[in-house]
Amino acid sequence: MTTARHAPSEFNVREIDVPVRSISRLGPLVGTERYSDLRLAAERTSRRLDGQTVWNFSSTAAGGGVAEMLRVLVGYIRGTGVDIRWLVMAGDAEFFSITKRIHNRLHGVSGDGGNLGPEEADHIQRVTDSNLEGVLDRIQEGDIVLLHDPQTLAMASAMAAAGARVVWRCHIGREGANQWTDQAWAFLRPHLAACDACIFSLRQYVPSWMDASRVRVIPPSIDPFSPKNQEMSPADVIRTLGRIGLLVQNGPDLAGRFTRTDGSPGRVERRASIVADGDTALALDAPLVVQVSRWDRLKDMSGVLEGFALAVVDQVDAHLALVGPSVANVTDDPEGAEAFAECLAAWGALPTKTRQRVKLVTLPMDDVDENAAMVNALQRHARVIVQKSIVEGFGLTVAEGMWKGKAVIASRVGGIAEQIAPGTGILLDDPADLPAFGETLAGLLTRPDEIAKMGDRARQHVLEHFVGDRHLIRYAQLIEWLVV
Ligand code: UDP
């Protein structure tokens, strides 16, 4: 493989403008005690920071769990008066195919089978150095730099040399090592020396050789007020899904309303691209099963389709929507288009009767808030939500579905197993067992009472464990520890 030489600053970081949010909104939801803990933590942190900046670097502004969380957390932390920023790095196709290889291997699978050697390290460093040119002189002694996921890790030593305290947050992982995880860690390990701390979503993801005193475990969270999770009236759910083209329009074609991240009113105007046999639009009362994911083989959209075809179609009158972002837009995920094409081929090979029950939906990403509102409406309209991942770092879509009072059927892998407690959803012991998945789904669809009870318990469970105040307090503790 040859790597092209890049002119300086060929790749430039881009700052994302995140609207301020007030933590006071969380008060009525989480109760006095939790809110008071949050307020005190916020006050301590802003005193400690004393004007230093907290920088976040990631590789995409939309279309995955990291972007979803940063949009929320950065807004809340800005609201406490801390100077916190979020920048997204740029790269070429080769850069993102190498980082996707690392991503796959940290999950324990080979991915595209390519190398992770000195040439790849060299390419990553060149693209990273180009990005750094646009930002390094803004980093001050004592600033805190949070690098998200493997894509940004090669920034660590330059940031440390600039006097920043550097934290690497790894949002992915696998319980237990194999040859692929070993290879990914060998590739990443030289950069970790420059990091003051590493954050993982689960304790089980921490490699055994890592210095435990530098490790923090912080599970992700959802924000009840974001366009993705905010309350949405049944009328707006129907309008939104009518507008994107998934539900029939009985009345006038009105746009679904939602509140944007910056507090201004928003409307869902765009259509989704829907692959369907026959009508793209479903009747309002057609029971719908939904999985929302990036088009990533590890999310196993094709497996959901197969399990649904095997067991559900003949037993229950339900439909399936496999929903993901438009594959043209998620630049840090080069395998998205291939995974979607595979799903499309599997859909095309279904018998007509089955194919008519399955829709492949890709959502426009032009407007991130609008995309989030579409996902919100889809999750709210779903009778059952599925997340049948083969492996999963955390799986925010599970908490999102549970927050909406939905019964979720998901694989017992990674962070999903931490989210679904007994009675709050259904865990699949073997994600590869498609008949078992299909039977479980078909069975649940015939038990509306159980769906309702499970959904109520699910929402309560998420409120208790995965709402943003928990997450913010852990960040505050980390910052206090870093700036002593
Ligand atoms: N998502 C989205 N639009 C889409 C598909 C996914 O906003 O078209 C969001 C989804 O709602 C969730 C995130 O992307 O917030 C996916 O996070 P998760 O932790 O489930 O998986 P990841 O993509 O980080 O592996």
Provide the pairing of β-strand 288-292 with 319-325. parallel
Distance CA 416, CA 389 (A): 9
Q: Tell me if 400 CB under 6 Å of ligand 1.
A: yes
pLDDT given at position 168: 98
Beta bridge partners of 178: none
Distance CA 166, CA 169 (A): 10
Catalogue the E-assigned strands of 90-219.
Answer: 144-148, 165-170, 197-200, 215-217
pLDDT given at position 3: 46
Which tokens sit at 83?
């100077």
Question: φ, ψ for residue 238 (rounded to 5)?
Answer: -65, -40
pLDDT given at position 334: 80
pLDDT given at position 116: 98
Q: Tell me if 325 CB under 6 Å of ligand 1.
A: yes
Q: Which fold has domain 234-465?
A: Rossmann fold (3.40.50)
Distance CA 358, CA 289 (A): 9
CA of 69 to the centre of ligand 1 (A): 10
Residue 56: name the closest of 35, 76, 26 by CA: 76
Q: Which of 375, 380, 394, 462 to mutate to test the pocket of ligand 1 (most atoms within 8 A of CB)?
A: 375
| Domain boundaries of the chain, sorted by first residue | 14-221+467-482, 234-465
Question: DSSP state, 342?
Answer: H
Per CATH, 14-221+467-482 and 234-465 having the same topology is answered: yes
pLDDT given at position 63: 76
pLDDT given at position 331: 65
pLDDT given at position 15: 97
Enter the pTM of the model: 0.93
What does pLDDT average to in each consecutive run of 10 residues of the chain (484 residues)?
55 96 96 97 93 96 89 95 96 96 96 97 98 96 97 98 98 94 98 98 95 95 96 97 93 89 95 94 97 96 97 96 87 85 97 97 96 98 98 95 98 96 98 98 98 98 96 95 87
Q: Tell me if 402 CB under 6 Å of ligand 1.
A: no
pLDDT given at position 345: 97
Hey, CA dihedral for 241, 462, 106, 171, is it positive or negative?
Answer: positive
14-221+467-482: CATH, from 3.40.50.720, 3.40.50.2000, 2.60.120.260, 3.40.50.740:
3.40.50.2000
CA angle 107, 113, 117 (to 5 degrees): 90
